[in-house]
Amino acid sequence: MQALAGQTLSVPPVWMIRQAGRYLFDYRELRSHYPSFLALCYTPEAAAEVTLQPIRRFGFDAAILFSDILVIPDALGQTVTFAKGEGPQLKALGGQEDIAALKPDRVLEHLQPVFETVERVRSALPPETTLLGFCGAPWTVATYMVEGKGSKDFANIRRFAYGDPDGFSRLIDILVEATTQYLLKQVEAGAECIQLFETWGGVLSENGFERWVIEPTKKIVANLKAVHPDLPVIGFPRGAGLHLIDFKQQTGVDAVGLDSGVPLKWVAEKLQPLGPVQGNLDPMYLITGGDEMIDETRRILDVLRDGPFIFNLGHGITPETSPENVGKLVDFIRNYR
């Protein structure tokens, strides 16, 4: 919370995207008792336990709620399944009738178990550990709703957004509203900071990024801050490149998450003076381990620790990650001067 408020700390705080999950034996064991991934997400006692596992093991400075960005389409009535080894599957939205059939009114009721998870985690966490709530940003969530699954070229959604912007904006407006309501409830339940994951922001044209990433994010941030002026919001527009400056300045987010490709000298000169940054170790270094992982971590710390900074990965931990390397990384960060 201090780093998010703009303080430069001698030891930067650290947490990791996907820190809870498949690389931990304890997670796989617990997961095996649930019929589906979403069933686990909607069982507060279990989801709280998964959130806490990496905190107990590694002592991260922040816990991230265990859930998924795709609970929003699920709550809107577009059934989501996670087939084993294949990632998410949704019945792709076919047109305006499908958008009109979404059910924004039932979102909060459907997601009630998530709020209970947040309450349970907050009361179990040490007071010095920040609890992060999160949500997918509208564009990224819409990619799954329109493509029906993860995509390589995002052809269907780009055709929709570029060819019928007014029709597409109806979907984005529904997502802005649902996301706002959902995040406000997370905060009410005990989330102290919110991260917005814009994983697929980098596939858009310049105008597309402005209209479908910056504009909706700006609305959500304004909606949240209207109720909670001091709530810190982290935006993570993966692949945004040179858009990062506009993203920071125009959306009103407090901090910006960096993917592993962003040049750090540029960040230190142009972006970090505008506010805290978070990132950006390539998660593959958690698999290589060794001197390579430590050298790369030192490089990141050396460039970014003279300003407000939160250590993180540039993308999510992969299932093959060795928990031992995660422990070594955290030790190195905590002891490096």
- Amino acid, single-letter form, for residue 100: A
**CB neighbourhood size of 215 (10 A):** 18
CA 303 to the chain's CA centroid:
24
Tokens of 166: 């007014």
How far CA 86 is from CA of 78, 150, 235, in Å, comes to: 18, 9, 27
Q: Tell which one of 19, 251, 278, 280 touches ligand 1CP (CB under 6 A).
A: 19
The yes or no reply on residue 77 touching ligand 1CP (CB under 6 A) is no
Largest CA distance in the chain: 58
User: What minimum distance in Å lies between the beta carbon of 306 and ligand 1CP?
Assistant: 28
x-marked contacts with ligand 1CP along 179-218 as a string, rule CB under 6 A: ------------------x-x-------------------
- 10 Å Cβ neighbour count for 111? 23
Residue whose CB is less far from ligand 1CP, 21 or 138? 21
Residue among 8 and 89 whose Cβ is closer to ligand 1CP? 89
Q: 337: how many CB neighbours lie within 10 A of its CB?
A: 6
Q: Which of 18, 26, 57, 173 is catalytic?
A: 18
**Annotation says 285 is catalytic:** no
Q: Is 150 in the site for ligand 1CP (CB under 6 A)?
A: yes
Active-site annotation holds for 22: yes
**268-327 positions binding ligand 1CP, by CB under 6 A:** 315-316
- Helices (H), ranges, the chain: 25-31, 37-41, 44-58, 71-75, 96-100, 107-110, 112-124, 138-147, 155-163, 165-189, 206-208, 215-227, 244-251, 264-266, 285-288, 290-304, 323-335
Min dist CB 266 to ligand 1CP, Å, is: 22
Interaction of residue 57 with ligand 1CP, rule CB under 6 A: no
Q: Is 56 a catalytic residue?
A: no
State the binding string over 104-143 for ligand 1CP (x if CB under 6 A, else -): ------------------------------x---------
64 binds ligand 1CP (CB under 6 A): yes
Which of 7, 9, 79, 87: binder of ligand 1CP (CB under 6 A)?
A: 87
3-state helix, strand, coil in the chain (%, to 5): 55, 15, 35
Q: Are 172 and 138 in contact (CB under 8 A)?
A: yes
- 223 preceded by a cis bond (ω within 30 of 0): no
Helix (H, G, I), strand (E, B) or coil at 198: strand
- Among 22, 170, 228, 328, the residue binding ligand 1CP under the rule CB under 6 A is 22
18 catalytic? Reply is: yes
The residues that touch ligand 1CP, with contacts defined as CB under 6 A, are: 17-22, 31, 37, 64, 66, 68-70, 82, 87-88, 134, 150, 197, 199, 315-316
The catalytic residue positions are 18, 22, 31, 68, 144
